[in-house]
Amino acid sequence: MPLDPDTYLTDRERLRGDVNDVDAIMSLTNRDSAAEYSLVSSNFDSLFTWNYSKGTRPALNKLYEKAKTSQWNGEKDLDWSIDVDVEKVVRELSVAAPGDAWIRQEAEDAGLLKGWGDKEWLQLGIEAQNWRLSQFMHGEQGALICTARITETVPWYDAKLFAATQVVDEARHVEVFAKYLETKLTGYYPINAHLEALLNDIIRDSRWDMTYLGMQVMVEGLALAAFGFLHMLTNEPLLKSLLRYVMADEARHVAFGVLSLKEAYEGMTSAELQERQEFAFEAGIRMRDRFLMQEVWERMGVDVRKMVEIQLRLPNEFKDFQRLLFSKIVPNCKKLGLLDAGDGWLRQKWTEIGVIQFEDWANTGDEYLELDHVATDREAGALAS
């Protein structure tokens, strides 16, 4: 297994203490980035349900019906003939990220970028774009595995039906991100160690609701926010279209998690909810850490530890992107009752890392229909014909 078990367990302790402990962050690395497979052992029960009454849970049935009409084909519905000007894409994204200028100045002042000119900064942008989309792709494979498990472990018939449609969605997402990386960019990066640790945490847990919380609400929620941010910033037509299609699916997936967990959590004890609060916070920090781009700095020959330290010192006024990544997660946690369960432990933690302001934003259980571009486009096409 690529992740070192000892440092992995040490890092889990860090998530309950000093989340900015650079030594702990740096200790978690992917030891074998060239590995073709990664084994994660787990033990869970597969549940048959013999009640085939469709629509027992109307909200889930509505999602299932929407999923059936919103399927798309990555080969046919995306125009792969489009030439991608990677350098133009990188320049557009760099203009929209003022925090990058601060990081650049700090790195130059620390003597980390000696001899760097426009060529090196352009290459950094290209590597960062490859890395960013690579982590999206790896996360989608994690969702593929987790949703396949949900079809086995969730006890509700309506939930099993929807989860089966999500398995197809996730396979399609892995497919299109991989094709974009291989044909339009320069290939992909191995999975980031912090993302891999989170996926391993989710997969190892045998409880079906933890799979929902970790993947459907946390990982998919962050992905939905990140896709939306990138979709807003980029003018590259193929990527913009790809993200638009994927976002339509992801919104349904997050809504699926919120609707299912809301019912499950209503019957849990305070101790059980506290465990879910802690898991949600740990997942949030792991996802924050994955964006430190350790693999990119290493490939560019820059002192990784010092660059991580600089990024963790980023002033509040430049943290919009990092905080927006939680814009779907925090309101969904509130919808689930996790924000203020017990003594409000999770509210305090989200406050400490500066993301509590999103608590009253729309939760995905209410907004997924607005993001269903696939069905909307098809309906418009049918009317036009």
Q: Which residues, including other chains, have CB under 8 Å from residue 192's CB and lie 6 or more apart?
A: 30, 135, 138, 290, 294, 295
Write down the pTM of the prediction.
0.90
Asked whether residue 367 is assigned to any structural domain, the reply reads: yes
Residue holding tokens 């509130």? 334
Spatial separation of the C-alpha atoms in residues 243 and 231, rounded to whole Å: 6
Asked whether residue 27 is assigned to any structural domain, the reply reads: no
Spatial separation of the C-alpha atoms in residues 385 and 383, rounded to whole Å: 5
Asked whether residue 306 is assigned to any structural domain, the reply reads: yes
Asked whether residue 103 is assigned to any structural domain, the reply reads: yes
Asked whether residue 102 is assigned to any structural domain, the reply reads: yes
Amino acid identity for residue 358 in this structure? F
| Structure confidence by residue, pLDDT tens digits, 82-134 | 999 999 999 888 765 667 888 989 999 999 998 899 899 899 999 999 999 99
CATH number at 309 reads: 1.20.1260.10
Spatial separation of the C-alpha atoms in residues 267 and 304, rounded to whole Å: 46
3-class DSSP string for 279-301:
HHHHHHHHHHHHCCCHHHHHHCC
Percent of the chain with pLDDT over 90: 70
Rounded to an integer, the average pLDDT of 71-78 is 96
Phi first, then psi, for residue 182 (nearest 5°) are -80, -30
Asked whether residue 263 is assigned to any structural domain, the reply reads: yes
Taken in order 134, 138, 140, 141, the sign of the CA dihedral is positive
Spatial separation of the C-alpha atoms in residues 379 and 385, rounded to whole Å: 10
Q: Which residues, including other chains, have CB under 8 Å from residue 325's CB and lie 6 or more apart?
A: 222, 225, 226, 229, 287, 288, 291
Query: What's the domain range around 102?
Result: 84-384
Number of domains observed in the structure of the chain: 1
Asked whether residue 380 is assigned to any structural domain, the reply reads: yes
| Structure confidence by residue, pLDDT tens digits, 275-285 | 999 999 999 99
Asked whether residue 310 is assigned to any structural domain, the reply reads: yes
